[in-house]
């Protein structure tokens, strides 16, 4: 595929003024340093959607969407990244050269080859460890208890990561791979002291393949019940993006059955394959994405996609979140001929349990009984609001059913739903349809409905706002929990430090504003992600002296910070930074964060040296004493500088 050259992207972002881009869809009003509007992405009456023309970004404080002009167009026009660039290039008269560019430069391709090599070696290592009579005994007992026989273990390449910090590390290292390469594989993590160690320990390991049969990641399942995280998956890496792959698709695609079954976990997928449903794939510990749906569409040749969601509340909420995305996908890709069905395992079991208890034939019936999306939603709306004693809550039923109907892009399906609902409500189908259409043009989501209900319940305005806060905290907590691997967290201080640095723009290196020693450094940041971002920022900065924020975000559009797309995190932080006053007050905020971070780093180092000091002898002792002395002086300076802010 032809890649759009970076210079073109920079030019597009340069010409496509964010206020102009957004302003052609919603009307913006100026307040403070920003422009405000009611958010086009979630229903609201008071504006919480802000545009910062100086930084070239938008951010919604309500639904947390944010990004640059390209991001806005992707979201609003439902376009892919290259499509959005072309869209803007067209509109703002930037020419995209027609020549075909290389897919990836040679260096990147080679780096990927190395990572594939590491992952393959890791797979072997895990496999042999499982069969190691000593190290692997407990894991083998567990695997056997879960019904994984030797054929299954072999077919799926299942292995075991022993309870060691350096087992895999030493194995891979001995084969000549560097720490850097190992970090890119997603199988290792760095300790506080910078040592590279194994990420997966004491877990059953499931290799994840891409459709070309390369191993690209692993899922690790705890073999002990009390382990607090049952599943850990590889984080996104040089070769793996969890949103763009499906477990077992490499096998499922060979079935060519015109149908793909999607389950939530790889144990379920394996159970289904063993029971003969080899067209099953599993999403990889994340909400189902449209990239994954695209894969399904491709490999079913636009046939049928059957979803299994867990019967518990989390699984059913996942269904309600996934359905509007799927309907949207069908509309924007003109794929309304793919049939999407939702299946439900009886008695709240998961597929694995059900097959064990009832056999493959019974399960085939379950697959057959899967409902079309509109029928599933109708059932949901009815059953969710049915109370055994008081009957159907028709107010809530109406709300649910109208919302669900608004998601459907197929008009026949929508009117079918409206008819059925009208019957239950004793209303005309026309009235129901009208309501569905109204919600559809507002792009209403389930969250909107939940929020409205929450607001209804809260009598006073302050209770209302408190509730919202609680919900947000809960969401951020679940976000953290569901993000399975956190190998390099960025602290809030670090994110804000970077945001303030960006907000200073070309003044960051102005000696009248900042001393040279007070310019941020990659080493001020603890995690690899932030280090990389800051390093690239400084490189870009030195090329251009001041980096257009929108361009900066674009450079890191694939990167996540603490599990959230960096675009969202940085847009929010930078919006906050820009709103905090003039250059000098932003400078002071910047320094406050910088000193706090540096003092903390110094204190960590100090503690380490003091530990070493007690063990050291002779010259070493002197050297450590000198360093401690220097550190104390530097810390003193920083404290003073911090206090004078
Ligand atoms: Zn919003």
C-alpha to C-alpha distance for 252 and 295, rounded to whole angstroms? 11
Give residue 480's pLDDT band: very low, low, confident or very high (50, 70, 90): very low
**For residue 47, how far is its CA from the centre of ligand 1 (angstroms)?**
9
C-alpha to C-alpha distance for 332 and 540, rounded to whole angstroms? 36
User: Whose CA is closest to 185, among 237, 254, 129, 227?
Assistant: 237
Q: Supply φ then ψ for residue 206, to 5 degrees.
A: -115, 110
Fold of the domain spanning 6-91: DNA Primase; Chain A (3.90.580)
Structure letter (DSSP) for residue 247: B
For 492-643, which CATH class?
mainly alpha
**For residue 40, how far is its CA from the centre of ligand 1 (angstroms)?**
7
**For residue 619, how far is its CA from the centre of ligand 1 (angstroms)?**
62
User: Whose CA is closest to 48, among 71, 69, 31, 24?
Assistant: 31
C-alpha to C-alpha distance for 242 and 234, rounded to whole angstroms? 9
Mean pLDDT is lowest, of 408-412, 467-471, 573-577, 620-624, for 467-471
Does this chain's domain 6-91 share its CATH topology with 492-643? no
Q: Are 303 and 258 a contacting pair, CB within 8 Å?
A: yes
**For residue 291, how far is its CA from the centre of ligand 1 (angstroms)?**
23
Higher pLDDT, 501 or 99: 501
**349-387 residue pLDDT tens:** 788 888 889 999 999 999 999 999 999 999 999 988 888
Domain 258-448 has CATH 3.90.930.12: no
Predicted pLDDT at 457: 60
For residue 485, is pLDDT > 60? no
Write b or e for each residue in 308-331: b if 16 or more Cβ atoms lie within 10 A of its Cβ, otherwise e. bbbeeeebeebbbebbbebbbbbe
Give residue 208's pLDDT band: very low, low, confident or very high (50, 70, 90): very high
**For residue 30, how far is its CA from the centre of ligand 1 (angstroms)?**
18
**For residue 59, how far is its CA from the centre of ligand 1 (angstroms)?**
8
**For residue 37, how far is its CA from the centre of ligand 1 (angstroms)?**
10
**For residue 462, how far is its CA from the centre of ligand 1 (angstroms)?**
21
Predicted pLDDT at 134: 92
**Domains of the chain, residue spans:** 6-91, 106-235, 258-448, 449-482, 492-643
For residue 460, is pLDDT > 80? no
Q: Are 57 and 67 a contacting pair, CB within 8 Å?
A: yes
For residue 174, is pLDDT > 90? yes
Q: Are 600 and 571 a contacting pair, CB within 8 Å?
A: no
**For residue 568, how far is its CA from the centre of ligand 1 (angstroms)?**
12
Write b or e for each residue in 59-76: b if 16 or more Cβ atoms lie within 10 A of its Cβ, otherwise e. bbbbbbbbbbbbbbbbbb
User: Whose CA is closest to 268, among 358, 145, 209, 352?
Assistant: 352
Q: Are 204 and 158 a contacting pair, CB within 8 Å?
A: yes
For 106-235, which CATH class?
alpha beta
**For residue 161, how far is its CA from the centre of ligand 1 (angstroms)?**
43
Average of per-residue pLDDT values in the chain: 84
**For residue 38, how far is its CA from the centre of ligand 1 (angstroms)?**
8
**For residue 492, how far is its CA from the centre of ligand 1 (angstroms)?**
22
**For residue 225, how far is its CA from the centre of ligand 1 (angstroms)?**
40
- The structure tokens listed for 347 are 């008695």
**For residue 44, how far is its CA from the centre of ligand 1 (angstroms)?**
8
C-alpha to C-alpha distance for 25 and 7, rounded to whole angstroms? 27
**For residue 22, how far is its CA from the centre of ligand 1 (angstroms)?**
13
Angle between helical axes of 446-457 and 461-482 (0-180°, round to 10): 140
**For residue 567, how far is its CA from the centre of ligand 1 (angstroms)?**
15
Predicted pLDDT at 218: 96
**607-641 residue pLDDT tens:** 888 877 777 777 888 888 888 888 888 888 888 88
CB atoms within 10 A of CB 575: 23
Please give the share of the chain, as a percent, with pLDDT higher than 90.
Answer: 32
C-alpha to C-alpha distance for 645 and 641, rounded to whole angstroms? 7
Q: Supply φ then ψ for residue 60, to 5 degrees.
A: -105, 125
**For residue 60, how far is its CA from the centre of ligand 1 (angstroms)?**
5
Provide the strand spans (E) within 170-230: 188-190, 196-198, 203-209, 215-222
Higher pLDDT, 622 or 313: 622
**For residue 66, how far is its CA from the centre of ligand 1 (angstroms)?**
9
Name the helix (H) or strand (E) containing 560.
strand 560-561
Predicted pLDDT at 456: 62
**507-561 residue pLDDT tens:** 888 888 888 888 998 888 888 888 888 888 888 777 666 677 777 777 787 788 8
C-alpha to C-alpha distance for 17 and 68, rounded to whole angstroms? 10
**For residue 448, how far is its CA from the centre of ligand 1 (angstroms)?**
10
Predicted pLDDT at 151: 94
**547-564 residue pLDDT tens:** 777 777 777 877 888 778
**For residue 175, how far is its CA from the centre of ligand 1 (angstroms)?**
50
Name the helix (H) or strand (E) containing 66.
strand 66-67
Contacts of 229 (CB under 8 A, 6+ apart): 222, 484
**For residue 10, how far is its CA from the centre of ligand 1 (angstroms)?**
26
**For residue 571, how far is its CA from the centre of ligand 1 (angstroms)?**
13
Angle between helical axes of 290-299 and 313-332 (0-180°, round to 10): 70
C-alpha to C-alpha distance for 544 and 521, rounded to whole angstroms? 18
User: Whose CA is closest to 482, among 347, 325, 283?
Assistant: 283
Higher pLDDT, 468 or 61: 61
For residue 104, is pLDDT > 70? no
C-alpha to C-alpha distance for 119 and 113, rounded to whole angstroms? 10
Overall average pLDDT of the 390-415 stretch: 88
Higher pLDDT, 491 or 276: 276
**For residue 63, how far is its CA from the centre of ligand 1 (angstroms)?**
4
**For residue 39, how far is its CA from the centre of ligand 1 (angstroms)?**
4
User: Whose CA is closest to 575, among 25, 56, 46?
Assistant: 56
**For residue 561, how far is its CA from the centre of ligand 1 (angstroms)?**
20
Predicted pLDDT at 526: 82
Overall average pLDDT of the 437-460 stretch: 70
Q: Supply φ then ψ for residue 192, to 5 degrees.
A: -55, -35
Mean pLDDT is lowest, of 189-193, 416-420, 581-585, for 581-585
**For residue 312, how far is its CA from the centre of ligand 1 (angstroms)?**
29
Q: What is the 3-state secondary structure (H, E, C) of 276-319?
A: CCCCEEECCCCCCCHHHHHHHHHHCCCCEEEEECCCCHHHHHHH
**For residue 43, how far is its CA from the centre of ligand 1 (angstroms)?**
7
**108-122 residue pLDDT tens:** 878 889 999 999 999
Q: What is the 3-state secondary structure (H, E, C) of 308-362?
A: ECCCCHHHHHHHHHHHHHHHHHHHHCCCCCCEEEEECCHHHCCHHHHHHHHHHHH
């Amino acid at each position: 595929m032809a890649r759009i050259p970076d210079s073109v992207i920079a030019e597009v972002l340069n010409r496509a003024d964010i206020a102009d881009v957004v302003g052609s869809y919603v009307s913006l009003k100026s307040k403070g340093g920003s422009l405000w509007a009611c958010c086009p992405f979630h229903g609201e009456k008071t504006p919480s959607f802000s545009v910062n023309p100086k930084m070239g970004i938008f951010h919604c404080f309500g639904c947390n969407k944010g990004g640059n002009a390209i991001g806005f167009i992707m979201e609003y026009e439902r376009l892919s990244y290259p499509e959005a660039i072309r869209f803007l290039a067209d509109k703002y008269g930037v020419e995209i050269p027609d020549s075909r560019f290389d897919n990836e430069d040679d260096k990147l391709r080679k780096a990927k080859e190395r990572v594939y090599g590491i992952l393959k070696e890791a797979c072997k290592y895990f496999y042999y460890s499982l069969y190691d009579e000593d190290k692997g005994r407990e894991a083998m007992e567990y695997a056997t208890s879960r019904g994984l026989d030797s054929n299954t273990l072999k077919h799926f390449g299942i292995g075991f990561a022993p309870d060691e910090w350096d087992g895999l590390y030493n194995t891979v290292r001995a084969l000549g791979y560097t720490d850097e390469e190992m970090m890119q594989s997603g199988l290792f993590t760095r300790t506080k002291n910078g040592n590279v160690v194994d990420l997966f320990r004491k877990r059953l390991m499931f290799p994840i393949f891409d459709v070309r049969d390369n191993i690209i990641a692993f899922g690790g399942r705890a073999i002990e019940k009390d382990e607090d995280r049952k599943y850990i998956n590889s984080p996104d890496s040089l070769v793996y993006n969890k949103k763009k792959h499906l477990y077992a698709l490499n096998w499922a695609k060979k079935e060519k059955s015109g149908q793909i079954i999607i389950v939530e976990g790889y144990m379920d997928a394996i159970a289904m394959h063993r029971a003969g449903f080899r067209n099953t794939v599993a999403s990889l510990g994340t909400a189902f994405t449209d990239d994954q749906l695209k894969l399904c569409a491709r490999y079913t040749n636009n046939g049928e996609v059957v979803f299994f969601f867990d019967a518990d509340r989390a699984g059913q909420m996942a269904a309600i979140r996934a359905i509007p995305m799927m309907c949207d996908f069908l509309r924007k890709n003109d794929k309304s001929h793919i049939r999407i069905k939702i299946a439900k395992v009886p008695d709240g079991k998961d597929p694995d349990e059900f097959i064990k208890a009832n056999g493959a034939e019974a399960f085939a019936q379950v697959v057959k009984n899967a409902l079309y999306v509109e029928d599933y939603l109708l059932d949901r709306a009815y059953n969710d609001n049915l109370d055994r004693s008081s009957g159907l809550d028709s107010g809530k039923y109406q709300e649910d059913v109208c919302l669900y109907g608004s998601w459907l892009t197929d008009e026949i399906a929508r009117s079918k739903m409206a008819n059925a609902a009208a019957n239950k409500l004793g209303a005309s189908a026309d009235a129901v349809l009208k309501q569905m259409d109204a919600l559809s043009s507002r792009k209403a989501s389930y969250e909107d409905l939940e929020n409205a209900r929450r607001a209804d319940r809260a009598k006073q305005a302050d209770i209302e706002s408190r509730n919202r806060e609680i919900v947000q905290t809960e969401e951020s907590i679940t976000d953290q929990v569901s993000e399975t691997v956190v190998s390099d967290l960025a602290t809030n201080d670090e994110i804000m430090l970077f945001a303030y640095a960006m907000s200073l723009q070309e003044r960051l290196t102005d000696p009248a504003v900042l001393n040279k020693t007070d310019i941020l450094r990659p080493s001020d940041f603890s995690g690899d992600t932030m280090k990389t971002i800051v390093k690239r920022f400084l490189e870009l900065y030195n090329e251009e002296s001041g980096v257009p924020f929108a361009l900066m975000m674009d450079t890191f559009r694939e990167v996540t910070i603490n599990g959230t797309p960096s675009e969202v995190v940085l847009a929010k932080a930078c919006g906050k930074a820009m709103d905090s006053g003039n250059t000098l007050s932003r400078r002071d905020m910047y320094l406050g964060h910088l000193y706090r971070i540096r003092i903390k780093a110094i204190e960590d180092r100090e503690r380490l040296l003091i530990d070493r000091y007690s063990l050291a002898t002779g010259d070493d002792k002197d050297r450590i004493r000198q360093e401690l002395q220097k550190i104390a002086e530097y810390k003193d300076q920083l404290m003073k500088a911090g206090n004078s802010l």
